[in-house]
Amino acid sequence: WKIQTLLETDDANWAENVDLAIDPKGNIIAVWQQNDGTRYNILSSRHEPEGGWTTPVAIENDTGDAQKPKIVMHKNGNAVVVWSQYDGSEYSAWANTYIKNSGWGVSQKIETGNLGGVNLIKISTNRQGNVMAIWQQYNGSDNDIWANTFTFDSGWGTAELVEQHSQNAENPEVAIDPTGNAIAVWYQHDGVRTNVWANRYVYGTGWESAATIETQDGYASPPMIVVDSSGNGIAVWSQYDGLRTDVWYNSYSPSSGWANAQLLENDNSGAAMEPQIAIDGADNVLVVWSQNDGSKNNILSRRYNPLSGWNTIEYVETNISNSAILDSVAVNYQGDAIVLIGEKVGLEQNIWASQYTHNRGWSSAELIEHNAGDSIYSRVIINNNGYAAAAWQQYDSDPYNIWATVFY
């Protein structure tokens, strides 16, 4: 890991919610929200291999607060960013595109009508350049799930309803397979507890019918999803059964649909929470989560091979003294992975990185930020050539700033 760099120099106002994307050549784009004293804007900076970060530029020019950007990048270096933006009465879904050698385009609204406030917009892409954005949107009484699709040839389509139910639907995630089919997951209240739901998008046809994919008693947390090269999916979440919290999963096959939800871990020593999931080019899946051992939280992992199934549970880190907080995980096409871990030391949180290589396993965690001040909301990305980047927001006694470091 190289020396950490301050991406923005506005010490008077807060910068938050950074996200990252990388292409196969190691070009990196960072996006975040930053206050200018009046409102929040979406800013971006770019980094090329062996080069430095560019001066941040605003990528939207509307007059309302813009927040929580998410970015994906195509193998040719083009990128798509989505965020939610306030128009004076509600938040709407917006987007912009970056074209290599041309720069940023003009931001545009990607949902029509004043249906209600948009929140928690997410985005996914495949190697062919299909993009899908998904978000929760208020309908006057509760939240529905909506989505829109994008290609660089034809632009954005028309927003479509993924589910509409009489109870709140929140925290959607989506993943796209190589042919443009997608699976969306979210959690939804049934009047008694929260359940995990899913729906499938068929390219050229549209969304199928939403259905719950777990039947356990107890509150479920927001799920995450990956899909492989054949359109098979694995969703993960944590769920409280009245005694403790466990990590669960369910698998989807285009030929047979969803299976029955299964426990991913059965360690009764402490709560297992907030799983994250990623997939490599050979369809191997990595699930990482936080689990308490009775004295502190550790970060654990389990890998799935499509030929041999689930392997044994492994520790991601063994050299962090205090409780570990799972921040983010990234996997490249070859199966190498990086996990960012927060460690609370007194009043500050530090950021560590643990690396997995497909031929050596997990390394010892390495401290990658060395500033005084609380470091939170870190994000990581990695490409097939071993280039990687991490970014986070860090408190320096007044506002939060955005810092980043690269690895090669």
Residue 164 has pLDDT above 80, yes or no: no
Percent of the chain with pLDDT over 90: 81
What is the pLDDT at residue 277? 98
Mind listing the pLDDT tens digit for each residue in 88-121?
889 999 999 999 999 999 999 999 766 689 999 9
User: What span, in angstroms and rounded, lies between the C-alpha atoms of 164 and 184?
Assistant: 14
Count of C-beta atoms within a 10 Å radius of residue 37? 7
pLDDT of residue 244: 87
Percentage of the chain modeled with pLDDT above 70: 99
- 189, amino acid identity: H
Distance CA 76, CA 291 (A): 39
CA atoms within 13 A on the CB side of 143: 20
Residue range 151-169: mean pLDDT, rounded: 90
Confidence at residue 322, expressed as pLDDT on a 0 to 100 scale: 93
- Residue owning tokens 């829109």: 148
Of 61-65, 111-115, 276-280, least confident by mean pLDDT is 111-115
pLDDT tens digits, one per residue of 208-248: 999 999 988 889 999 999 999 999 999 999 999 888 899 99
- The pTM (predicted TM-score) of the whole model is 0.95
For the chain, the average pLDDT equals 93
Does 398 score more than 80 pLDDT? no
Q: Which of 168-177, 236-245, 263-272, 352-361 has the lowest mean pLDDT?
A: 263-272
Shortest CA distance to 291 belongs to which of 283, 300, 302, 282? 300
pLDDT at 114: 61
Strand pairing category for 245-253 and 233-240 = antiparallel
Phi, psi (degrees; rounded to nearest 5) at 321? -75, -40
**SS3 breakdown of the chain: % helix, strand, coil, rounded to 5?**
0, 55, 45
Over residues 178-195, mean pLDDT = 93
* 89 CB-near residues (< 8 Å, 6+ apart): 114
**DSSP, res 53:** B
The alpha carbon torsion through 182, 187, 190, 194 (nearest 10 deg) reads 150
Please, which pLDDT band fits residue 169 given cuts at 50, 70 and 90? very high
Q: What is the pLDDT of residue 113?
A: 64
DSSP character string of 193-216: SEEEEEEEEETTTEE---EE----
50 — pLDDT class (breaks 50, 70, 90): confident
Asked if the model's pLDDT at residue 281 lies above 90, the reply is: yes
Per-residue confidence (pLDDT) for residue 403, from 0 to 100: 95
Secondary structure of residue 320 in the 3-state scheme: coil
Beta strand 160-163 pairing with 143-151: antiparallel
**pLDDT, position 217:** 85
